[in-house]
Homo-oligomer: A and B are copies of this chain.
Amino acid sequence: MRNHDDTICAIATAPGTGAIAVLRLSGPQAWPIAESVFQPASGKPLPARRANRLHFGRLVRGQETLDEVVVGWFRGPRSYTGQDVVEISCHGSPYLQQKALELLLDRGARLARPGEFTQRAFLNGKMDLSQAEAVADLIASTGEAARRLAMDQMRGGFSRKINELRQRMLAFTSLVELELDFSEEDVEFADRAQLDLLLGGIASLLRGLVESFSHGNAVKNGIPVAIVGQPNVGKSTLLNRLLDDDKAIVSEIAGTTRDLIEDTAILAGRSFRFIDTAGIRETTDLVEAIGIQRTHKTIEKAKIVLLVVDARDSLRHIGKTVQRFKKANDMAHKHLVVVANKADMLSSLERDLVFRHNIPSFDPKDHLLALSAREDADLLALRALLVELSNLHGQGQNEVVVTNARHYEALTRAEKAIARAQEAIAARTPTDLLAQDIREALHFLGEITGEITNDQILANIFANFCIGK
């Protein structure tokens, strides 16, 4: 465990020029260091009990005034880190920020490592590890759904769920451990049938959490939407319209898009990650062949696939394309939306035919939209469908959702340990082996909230933070 008896400081606001910037100090010397560089405008000495108060005055280096600042004082443990904390608001010139930081370093503070303030909060019991991780997620959130999940997790929703599971297991563990003390006597304090029932319940809760990850991950990183289709059906135009910019090269030459083009758009507060792909036809062009290989991988990862076809083709041809596509790709956990593009070139009769799903052997579970990527109204319909599909796909708003790959891994491991324990009960395995599986499951759950941790885990987690948090 890293030493946190020293006093750390950092610029806590975004880099660059602003009206104001905030520097943050945390540690036993935070107040004395701030005192040594601050002269209150009142001219009166600072009151001893100044926690949660603001003072206006001068930031000084000896006789020289560096800036006029507002200083806020927090007394540990009633602070973000649980230590004494000072926040100094100075004018937002990058030069001044740098000078103010240097001044604090000169007075004995140390530059904070990324996430070190939050790490101290964790080490001082102000939050558990999954809450600390949510702080970083919150800062990184770019859409409403991601913000909400991070906020729930930061406020302890996820931790409560995990702790509930742990508490239920701990009760039985103590009984199982007791059996080990009396192992020579072959007694069973823990009712195996009841234990099995409990493990079954826990296993199903774990399953739900593990499964929520694919949704949670999608919300956090954007719901992956693959845009596929034969060359020149208008995939890039569609992508551009969805993204409202000109990232993909749109051209009339078949096979123009060689590389995967990926970008994120926010629709109804949800983030969608759109991936345009090279055409899915057979090709002899090497570069395009690589692109096509990537297409298949992209489709695998996608939650929603937009298969773009040319609405001017015969319905039979479109039907065949869809069938061929579904044969080549596993659509089990995905939504397929067939987008019959260039429908503006059709007569309204033809367009109706397409709409009426008159395509041969079209699966009613799949979706179809005949549209023109150039028409705003058509785009609105497509966006609405995407939002609807992302809702069907996801959980309700109040359920706990796993968004963190580390949690996902720990949960998966806990699930496996529980499965082994269930097998052990079924096979009437000796108590010591059963106890070990349960201990292991507890261990992995404990890793999530940080009851069980080590320097490596902490280092990995906090390295992803920004400095100043």
B-contacting residues of A (Cβ < 8 Å)? 10-22, 24, 52-55, 65-68, 70, 72, 74, 87, 89, 91-96, 99, 117, 135, 138-144, 147, 151, 154-155, 465-469
Contact = CB atoms under 8 A, between A and B. Distances in A.
B93 A151 contact: no
A67 to B, nearest CB: 7
A17 B18 contact: no
Given A14-B16, A15-B18, A16-B16, A92 B54 contact: no
Given A52-B55, A54-B72, A72-B54, A93 B16 contact: no
B469 A19 contact: yes
A99 B146 CA distance: 13
Contacts of A52: 53-55
Contacts of A24: 19
A20 B468 contact: yes
A174 to B, nearest CB: 35
A96 B139 CA distance: 8
A334 B151 CA distance: 61
A140 B93 contact: yes
Contacts of A68: 154-155
Contacts of A67: 138, 151
A72 B147 CA distance: 24
A362 to B, nearest CB: 39
Residue of A18, A143, A465, A466 with highest tally of chain B CB at under 10 A? A18
Contact of A18 (B12, B143, B144): B12
A452 B92 CA distance: 29
A21 B155 CA distance: 19
A279 B371 CA distance: 61
A414 to B, nearest CB: 29
A19 B15 contact: no
Contact of A138 (B12, B91, B139): B91
Contacts of A94: 142
Nearest to A52: B54
Contacts of A13: 13-14, 18-22, 92
Contacts of A89: 22, 87
A419 to B, nearest CB: 36
Contacts of A92: 12-14, 139, 466, 469
A139 to B, nearest CB: 5
A55 B54 CA distance: 11
The 8 closest A-B pairs by CB, nearest first: A19-B469, A14-B18, A19-B468, A14-B16, A13-B13, A12-B19, A14-B14, A13-B18
A177 B340 CA distance: 87
A15 B16 contact: yes
A396 to B, nearest CB: 15
A34 to B, nearest CB: 14
Contact of A147 (B54, B95, B138, B144): B95
Given A74-B54, A140-B93, A12 B20 contact: yes
30 contacts: A11-B18, A12-B19, A12-B20, A13-B14, A13-B19, A13-B20, A13-B22, A13-B92, A14-B14, A14-B17, A14-B21, A16-B16, A17-B139, A17-B140, A18-B468, A19-B467, A20-B469, A52-B54, A52-B55, A70-B72, A72-B72, A92-B139, A93-B138, A94-B142, A95-B142, A95-B143, A96-B139, A96-B141, A99-B144, A99-B147
A19 B93 contact: no
B95 A141 contact: yes
A91 B135 contact: yes
A94 to B, nearest CB: 8
Contacts of A140: 17, 93
A91 B138 CA distance: 7
